[in-house]
Structure 1
């Protein structure tokens, strides 16, 4: 008698990710440091507004801080790849924390000089350590199995989203009994302490060896991941303003807006965990385009919502594609980048999301005054769909693809 066929192995779980040696300690330290990015934006906005008495100044400072953080991120990430996180990350975090302390001191009391505040904010943003890209690059060192890596990236993405929800709430509690600048000090403490624990992990890597024949510092093949990340950022930042405009034009209480946007975040968390648990048969790039296209379609259809509950349901459905799209973009960046460029590749995707978010807010603000609200939702959705089409795997990729379910790597 022939032996019975062995059953298919069960897919790895999220618990299996955290059972990887040293994963829990390393991930917890990284999340502690990354919580700083969830607290710092609101803390800087409140403290600068209070110190200068001007919303225009606070808006300009936030724009400068965000631009320095986002557009220099690939450069900072390349230092991580070149010198290793232990040598590059902690000095970067320490300098960033020190500059945040300077910014907190300048804005502790009213009457701060606007040029000095702006200069401190720009310098701090220029030094912000690329903690998310570093952790995602480290997951590829911790985890060999691609399915388990998919779970790890999904868990990382959902946890990061929760940090951006809990961070402002933490600042809100703190300013109830302390000046807003205390939130900047909290951000500095989190990033320095968390990064110190992060780089002390036994699995922290050194400089990544350069692949034979590769050109150090060159990241190729990232256009699909970067395009989708930018398109998603553009669409999502527009949604925030569109929900606010929807509530205003329908005479709803503005207090309902955070709940509708919370539904988007909740849908994203559920979608991210569900996507990470699926054993996908399609390639990473095809999946990426499907998620981004679906996100765009749902956002476009949200414009015909007849009321608040329908809009909330649409936001839940749209959110279900947000985390999967971004997680898959990071996975594709990891697959296409050479080993010595992994942190930088993830940083390009991260920068694209944030740059898209900044541009989307500006574009949507202009469109709301020029188009019907339904047309604005349609434009936001069309941006994500266009990015999906730009990144779509056409015939050439299909011809070069290996076995089913695996994309060929450059």
Structure 2
């Protein structure tokens, strides 16, 4: 008589999306986060259409992105203390009202009022991404379904930055930038309400410490967590420098469409890579998969050093794109394992901020080196190499032993660290 267990049934995305509340939460989060890609473009178009310089419009757009990123950990901490709905809904209402009010800033208060509205609007963007990641364990207790949902969730994020700017440009061209801002506000409010009013979000409360030694492990900023976030700034750096490199490629080859096609190829490949990754379980620990995926992410950037032509460049960026979702998904699982009970939303928010800070640094440096083709092409690989170096140095602080030490006061979920 064979004692070998039958193979587990294959995970399908229809099973994931058919689970209670999954489609609503994922769809609402994507809709509510679409303004993150729309608002900076809409703000820039509104500023230039109102007679301001493109430099001032770009400053407003950058301030919106920066203030939104910096406020993420604060909103994560508030969610861990007061629940998700109590934070999401007021933030969405205020953010939407400010976006709609922005067109009134020109005639009423000029540049100063416009800047204040934009910064406050960025500070009040709902922390939907961190909130959704915190909901998955309660919505999908089955580890294999949760693994697939996280890969699907992570893989779809890049598509927002393709759809969002296209939608804003279409609305501004067909109507006015003010209409684009109003549509951005409406989508953000509708998506956030869809999530915040769903029973899992309304009922969600952070997991609380259950042992006497919880106070000793309640610190979030441990060496392992800090090293993981430092590595993710390198991943963000690669993404941010790619966007500028694609513009430089477009100018060098006199093909304006390359500026959009290259990032789109990267994002679509990331989505497809996430779908493949989420459909099956993988051997080894999460830390091992994180390091291997980051190594493949780095290897994928190296062909750019050959100063490829347009078509080869489009094909080349699809390789690191395919591994991006794997890197980020594994990073979220590792963060969940290392973060203390009651602070998971805040930890996820810091992870998001780390990637965003890296993107900003990569964009800034790539802009300075845009006229040097080899240096510009080397920046994505440099960011990925930084990430891999940090992860290799930190692997003992991220592995199962460190996770057990950090998580000894947490209520374990079935298969929590073995599947995603």
The whole-number CA distance in structure 1 between the counterparts of 2:50 and 2:283 is 55
Post-superposition shift, 1:52? Answer: 3.8
Post-superposition shift, 1:229? Answer: 2.2
Q: What are the equivalent positions in structure 2 for 1:294-373 lying under 5 Å apart?
A: 294-369=296-371, 372-373=372-373
Which runs of no fewer than 5 residues in structure 1 stay unpaired?
Answer: none
The whole-number CA distance in structure 2 between the counterparts of 1:4 and 1:300 is 47
The whole-number CA distance in structure 1 between the counterparts of 2:228 and 2:395 is 18
Post-superposition shift, 1:409? Answer: 5.8
The whole-number CA distance in structure 2 between the counterparts of 1:134 and 1:394 is 27
Alignment CA distance shift 1:77-1:395 (3 Å) = closer
The whole-number CA distance in structure 2 between the counterparts of 1:219 and 1:47 is 40
The whole-number CA distance in structure 1 between the counterparts of 2:47 and 2:12 is 44
Residue equivalent to 2:195 = 198
**Which range moved further: 130-139 or 239-248?**
239-248
Other structure's SS at 1:128 match? coil
Residue equivalent to 1:273 = 275
**Which range moved further: 6-15 or 63-72?**
6-15
Which runs of no fewer than 5 residues in structure 2 stay unpaired?
Answer: 407-420
The whole-number CA distance in structure 1 between the counterparts of 2:53 and 2:319 is 38
- Contact 2:11-2:280 within 8 A present in 1 as well: no
Post-superposition shift, 1:84? Answer: 0.1
TM-score, length-scaled by structure 1: 0.90
Alignment CA distance shift 1:116-1:248 (3 Å) = same
Q: Are 2:78 and 1:76 aligned?
A: no
Alignment CA distance shift 1:374-1:32 (3 Å) = same
Post-superposition, which runs of at least 4 consecutive aligned residues in structure 1 deviate over 6 A? none
The whole-number CA distance in structure 2 between the counterparts of 1:408 and 1:131 is 28
The whole-number CA distance in structure 1 between the counterparts of 2:395 and 2:261 is 43
Post-superposition shift, 1:26? Answer: 2.4
Q: Are 2:245 and 1:242 aligned?
A: yes
Residue equivalent to 1:214 = 214
Post-superposition shift, 1:395? Answer: 7.1
* Cα deviation digits, residues 170-196 of structure 1 (max 9, x gap): 112211222112211112111222222
Post-superposition shift, 1:217? Answer: 7.5
Alignment CA distance shift 1:131-1:219 (3 Å) = farther
Post-superposition shift, 1:393? Answer: 6.2
**Which range moved further: 356-365 or 145-154?**
145-154
* Cα deviation digits, residues 366-400 of structure 1 (max 9, x gap): 2234xx422332233122112121122667459x7
Q: What are the equivalent positions in structure 2 for 1:10-409 lying under 5 Å apart?
A: 10-106=9-105, 113-204=110-201, 205-212=203-210, 213-215=213-215, 218=220, 220=222, 221-249=224-252, 251-369=253-371, 372-392=372-392, 396-397=396-397, 401=400, 408=404
TM-score, length-scaled by structure 2: 0.88
Alignment CA distance shift 1:128-1:409 (3 Å) = farther
Post-superposition shift, 1:164? Answer: 2.0
Alignment CA distance shift 1:149-1:93 (3 Å) = same
